[in-house]
Amino acid sequence: MNYKSISHRVCFADTDAMGIVYYANYLRFFEMGRNAFIRDVFKSYKDIEESGVQMPVASVEVKYRRSAQFEDLLEIRTYIKSLSQVKMSVYTEVYNQENILLCSGTTVLAFIDKVSHRPRRVPEDMMYALSEYLDEPEMVQMCIS
C-alpha cells in the first residue's frame, strides 16, 4: 500500500509538563500527516475549500500504544484506506526514531458543500489523484463511472 510520510520533532507544545506526548496530542499528528498528504497528492485544504468543498472529520478511531517524548523524531505515515463518493477514510501510523509504532488510527472525513453544508461528491480530479494511494484503485474507477 502506498503512503506519504513526514517527520516531526516533538516540541514542548506537543507534551505535558513531564515532557510526554499524551493520547490527545496524537490526533494533532494525525492531522499534520493528513494535511501534508492531501497537499502533496492534490491541493492544500485552503485551495479545496476555495473550490467549494469542506472536509470535516466525521469520526476518529485511535489505538494508543506508548508515549513519545520531548525531542523524539517521529515519522508520521498516512495512507488512504478507502475513498467513496462522499467520504474518505485515512489511516495514520506514528513511529519514533527507533521505528517503534507509538500510535495508529483511522480518521473518516466527509465531503460537504461549503454553501449548502450538505454532503457532496468528491471532486473527480481529487478522486483520481487520491486513488493512486488506495489498495484497490479499480474500485474508485467504478465509483467515478
Task: Using alpha carbons, select from 21, 145, 144, 41 the residue that is nearest to residue 90.
Answer: 41
Question: What per-residue confidence (pLDDT) applies to 91?
Answer: 96
Question: What per-residue confidence (pLDDT) applies to 115?
Answer: 94
Q: Report whether 69 contacts 22 (CB < 8 A).
A: no
**pLDDT tens for each residue of 113-142:** 999 999 999 889 999 998 888 865 444 444
Q: Report whether 71 contacts 9 (CB < 8 A).
A: yes
For residue 64, pLDDT beyond 90: yes
Listing DSSP states for 23-70 in one string gives TTHHHHHHHHHHHHHHHHHT--HHHHHHTTEE--EEEEEEEE----BT
How far apart, in Å, do the first and last CA atoms of the chain sit? 24
Write out the three cell numbers for 67.
508515549
**pLDDT tens for each residue of 94-120:** 999 999 999 999 999 999 999 999 999
CATH class (in words) of the domain with range 4-144 = alpha beta
**pLDDT tens for each residue of 7-52:** 999 998 888 888 888 778 899 999 999 999 999 999 999 999 999 9
Question: What per-residue confidence (pLDDT) applies to 137?
Answer: 45
Question: What per-residue confidence (pLDDT) applies to 135?
Answer: 65
Question: What per-residue confidence (pLDDT) applies to 139?
Answer: 45
pTM given for the model? 0.87
Question: What per-residue confidence (pLDDT) applies to 145?
Answer: 39
For residue 57, pLDDT beyond 70: yes
For residue 65, pLDDT beyond 70: yes
Pairwise CA distance, residues 56 & 113, whole Å: 11
